[in-house]
Structure 1
Amino acid sequence: MTAESVPNPTIHCSGVTVQFPTQSGSPQTVLDRLDLTIPTGSVTTLLGPSGCGKSTLLRVIAGLIQPIAGEVSIDQRSLRTDGRKLREMMSFVFQESALLPWRTVLQNVMLPVELRGLGRNKATLEQAYHWLEIVGLSKSDWTKRPNQLSGGMKMRASIARAMTTLPKILLMDEPFAALDDVLRSKLNDLILRIAEEQRCTVVFVTHNISEAIYISDSIAVMSEGKIARKLPIHFDEPRLPKLRSTEPFARTYGNVSDILFQAVS
């Protein structure tokens, strides 16, 4: 699942601090001098309770939130000074599918291509078709509008839309939180397939321990705006659904649970 190591990390967060205003007038520190390195081609999960800063960190990496201190760099290029070009390497999948209701599935998937001025042509259409097939949406679904889709189908379309530009970095903010366990498991397998085939770097936010263990090369446990612990995740057998019922998985689950509990207590 992990691409070959490279001399420099894809993503490096150094001393990142983010504060939000409050009604009292005193700023709330959401990220506090946070340091994190995310290697090229890895799947790294940000795991922690609600309010620990996971989604904020993801948005800082995406360039959607500017820190008041610290820096994010990608391949040693500063997001602060070279953000526009670096953001072209990224795609973001939100917790809600964020599909435009007046567009069909295919039209929604084509949107990032259109926004980059590439237009609708044979090559871009074939790319959209490819990703719609990869995520498991049949041709009969491509002409449907979002209100005709189930929650799982909407999320599949959202992932296809994110991948049409072939991002080098895929950022995902609890995309499966509202889905049932069976569908979540299937989409976890989809993320593993995308990471393996595209060799892209995935940063995934969740508060689900089992999900984090299953898809990750490493887990960054967050607490109070900091990385409390980063731990590698490795299994000798392939990442297939049956892995979840094995003793090594259960042992890893217990270890991660203990670390998470210690971090928040």
Structure 2
Amino acid sequence: MSASDQRDDLVVIIDPVARRADGESVRIAKDVLGAGASLKVCLPEGPEEFARALLRRGTRRPVVVGDDAALRRAVGVLHRERALGGTDLAVVPVAGVAAGVRLARGLGVPAGAVAAARAVLDGAPRRLDLLVDDRGEVVLGDVRIAVLGGGPAPVAGPAGGSAAAGERHGHAWLRTCQSLVRTLGARPGGGRGAGPARLRVEADGVTLVDLDQPVEGVSVVPGSGGLARVEVRPSSVGAGIAPVRARARSVTVAGPDFHYHCDGALAGPVRRRTWTVRPGAWSLTLPRP
């Protein structure tokens, strides 16, 4: 089957969260895709139906209409079934809030249902590196361990104005509570400790930081050439301490119970986790250069 035939023969899996959050964008995506391809549309109601629709795609190219969680779920299903390497996956990002598609945007998928759907039809598959941890869970974007309140930045309201308006009407307490929850969730032990984390970070067996040096944060990001970019930010008292950076195929973090974020989703607590790069392990359809 030619590449052209594959582009014109799609199975479109519409995540239930997308249908509830933004039905209009879902409809637009279907219309654009249907104008340029033969579609089989699947409307799963849960993760099991989502997985079945993906695995029963036959020769059709799968297109996920949904948020970052739906994209990660699709990659995870294909990885577990050992079908990831031979599948050209495509996504039309749809979510109720912009933060819900931050990962897809970071990977190069266009914003907006029309532009993303056209990229599915006219784009080209691009091989991307993948991180896989010691449980077999996949990471498409990054791993971050943040302490001292260094978790992901809070998401602004629409047009950046709703948060300020809420504070003017006496709702500042709500934002304070939400910030506190995020901060506690990002600290080791779910917030039981107060202060920098003490972690051992190893890159390809070489210790970058040991337990005697407290750290404020760690990040692991798939890079290129089969190597991940690793950055460790040691805690500084007085004079600043420069971040420790490395490139490695395997990264291990160990220490007292710590939480971490994978593609923005909170996980843990754990005492040890290893992430390994799988070079060019998956294919995502992106706009042509």
* TM-score when normalising by structure 2: 0.29
More strand by share: 2
More helix by share: 1
* TM-score when normalising by structure 1: 0.31
Q: Which has the higher contact order (CA 8 A, sep 6+)?
A: 1
